[in-house]
Structure 1
Amino acid sequence: MRALCWHGKHDIRCDTVPDPGIEDGRDAILKVTSCAICGSDLHLFDGVMPGMEHGDVMGHEFMGEVVEVGRDNKALKVGDRVVVPFTISCGECEQCRRGNFSVCERSNRNKKLADKAFGHSTAGLYGYTHLTGGYPGGQAEYVRVPYADCGPLKIPEGLSDEQVLFLGDIFPTGWQAAVACDIEPEDTVCVWGAGPVGQFAIRSALLLGARQVIAIDRVPERLAMAAAGGAITIDFDEEPVLERLAELTGGKGPQKCIDAVGMEAHATRSLDSIVDRAKQAVMLETDRPHVLREMIMACRPAGILSVPGVYGGFVDKIPMGALMNKGLTLRTGQTHVPRWTEDLLRRIRDGQIDPSFVITHSAGLEDGPGLYKTFRDKEDGCIKVVLKP
C-alpha cells in the first residue's frame, strides 16, 4: 500500500509499505477514505519531537471503512464506517474507566521509554513517535486499529467524510480545551493561535456560552476564519497583545485563556522569541513557551489556563510567581477523544456546527509531502489539509 513516511527533518515521502494485518483479536483493519495533516504532525516534520525512525508511517487523524475484524471484536463488523480517535485506549484500565483515555495505562507499547520521558507513560498514539508506542499512522491506504472495540465512532448515513473526519482529533481537542475553562455566561475567553485547533476552540467556547471570544494570530486567513466564527481578532504583528486585551476587557484581562499553539510559538514583537530560539539551538530548552508566559500575565486573577497545544520537553522562564499569586488554574493534556465524540456527533447532525468549514486544501495522498510544506509555511491560504488515499 501507499503511505506517507518520515525519513528525517523536512523529509516526508509517499512510499510503498507492507499492508497491515490483524495482530490481536480486538484489532480491525481500516481502508482509509480520508485523513488529514495535523499541526502536531508539523512537530515531527520540523524534527522537534524525539523518537521518530526512518520509514515511520505518519498521521493520526483518519477515518474509513472496516475491511477486517479480529475474532474477539464484537463492536465492529466489515463495512462499518468509522472515525478513529488519535489516542489509543484499551477501555479496561483504571484511567480508561475514569474516562481519561489519553493516559490509558496499556496501549503504549514503549511504556518503559515513556516512563523515563514523562515520569509515567501516556497512551499510545497513531503515527507519533516511539515515545507513544511507534504505531503506524493513518496517512495511508490501510491502517491497523488496535483495541478497535473501544474508541472508533460509527458514522451514520447522510454525513460526509469532511463533516465528521475531525471528530478523531481537532474538534474534540478544541472542545475539551473550552470545556476545561468552565465557561460562564459573562466570560471572555482568549484563544492564542487560530490554526485548526484554535478555530474549533473558538466555536466551542461560543457554543458553551462565552460572552466574548478573542483570537490571537498573525495569519490573515486564520484571523478572517476566526472572525467568521464569531471571534474578535488581534493580529500580534500589528497590535501589542496585552494592551489590546486590557482594552477589550475593561482593564481586567480575560477570565479564561487557551493555548492552541504549543511548543513552536512565534512572538515577533517580543525578545522572547529570539531568546527561545537561541536556547533551543544550544539545548537549554526544547520548546518555545511564549504563549504560556503571555497567558499567565494576561489572565484575570482566579482565572483558568487551558493548554491543548502540544509540548514535548522542557521550557524556561515560566512566571510561576504570577501563576501562583494570581490563583490561576492550569489544565493540560492530550484529548480524551471518546469522552466527547457522541455529543459532538449529535451537534453536527443537529446543525449546530459543520466542521468542514476549516478545510482549505484537499488532495491525493501522493500530494502529501508537498502539502506538509505548504501547511507548515502557511502558504496559499492553507489552514487545514485533507488527503484522500
Structure 2
Amino acid sequence: MLSETTAATVRATLPVIGAKIGEITPIFYRRMFAAHPDLERDLFNRGNQAQGDQQRALAGAIAAYATLLVSEEGPDVDTLLARIAHKHASLGIAPDQYPIVHRHLFEAIGEVLGDAATPEVVAAWDEVYWDMAHALIRIEKGLYSGFGVSPEEVWQDLVVVERRQESPDTVSFRVGRRDGGQLPQARPGQYVSVQVTLPDGARQIRQYSLTRAPRRTTWGLTVKAVPETGGSGVTAPAGEVSNFLHDNLFEGDPIRCSLPFGDLVLEDRPDPVLLVSAGIGCTPIIGMLHYLVRTESDRPVTVLHADRSPARHPHRQELAELVDQLEDARLHHWYEDLGVRPATETIRRGLIDLDSTQIDSDAQVYLCGPLPFMEAVREGLAERGVPESHVHYEVFGPDTWVPHTSPEMANA
C-alpha cells in the first residue's frame, strides 16, 4: 500500500498524469524497443503496436491501478491485475524484466511532463509502479508454481494431430505431444500462447482459447485469419500469426505452445450459466460447454451467439450438439445475414437482442466477442438486473475495455 504522503501526491496529480499518459506510453514503447529491439521482434504483438492498442491498454491499466490505490474504499487490485498476470505468465515474463520497463517508462514520463515531473511527483509514481510490479510478480509466481515451472519453462513443443476447416476464415487444430502423453490440466475457458517464427525471423506470439481442454492428451484451438482492414483513412494490418498458421500449419507439423492460463474460468457452482459470444468469441464458450458435458452438469445453461451468417459461424454444428447433450440447456442465434433461411424462435435475423430472451438475474455470465458487442451486452444485462459481479469477460488482444471509468481515468 502507498504511504499517506504518496497517496496524496498521486491523488493530486492523477488528473494531470491521466491527461498525459496517452502521450507517455508511445514514447515509452519507442524508447524501450530502441534499447531492446528483441522485445518488439520476439515478445510484443507488432500488429497491436502499429494500431496503438497496446499503448491504450497500458495507459488504462496504469490509470485504473493508481485510481484504485488512492480509493477511499480500498483497492481490489488483484481483480484488476489477474488478467495482466495471466497474460504475462503465458508469455514467460520474468521478474528481471520489470526494471527494464521501469527505466524507459520513467524516462518517458520525464520527457512528457518536463518541469512538472518534480522529485516529489516522480517518487510518488515510482512507488505506484513498484507496488503494481510487485503485485504482478507475486501473482505470476503463484501461476508458475501451480505448474511447478520457472518462467522459461512455460513453453512446450507439441505437434498438430488434426486440422479442420470450421468456416471460410477459421481453422481448428488439435495438438498434442509426439509421444501421445498427457498434457497439463487446463481449466474451461483458458487459453494458450502460440509462438511462431515468421519469414523475417521474428518470433511472434498470440493467444488462442482452448476449445477442448478437458481432453488430457490433446488440446483444441481455433484460429481466425485476420485480413487487412481499412476505413476512414485508418488501415489495420493483416494478422501476422493467424495468416501464417492458416497457410503453413498442417497435420504432423510442430507447434510451440505455452502452458494454459487465463482468468476467464467457468467455476463449479450451482448457479445458472449464461454464455454469450459473437464471432470467434465462441471458442472459450465451446471449451466451457465441453466441460459441462463431460461433468454431466445439471446447471441451467443458456447460450447466446451472434455471427455474420451461418456459413461464417465457426463450430456451428459442434455448439448445437453440445447444447443438446446437456440436461437443461437452450441455444439462441442471431445472424446479420440469414440468406434464404427463415427466422425461427431460436434463430433470428439481425443483432443480438437480450429483450427477446429469458435471462435469469442470478446467472453467472461469461462473455466474449468484439468490444462494442460486449459493451452493448453488458448494458443490456444491467438493464435486466444482472449484477455486474456476475459478468465475466474475455478480450482477444490488449484489454482496452475498462467497464468502470472514474473521472480521473476518463482523462487517460
> Aligning the two structures, in what range does the TM-score lie when normalised by the shorter sequence?
0.3 to 0.5
Structure showing greater radius of gyration is 2
Q: TM-score, normalised by structure 2?
A: 0.34
Give 1 or 2: higher helix fraction.
2
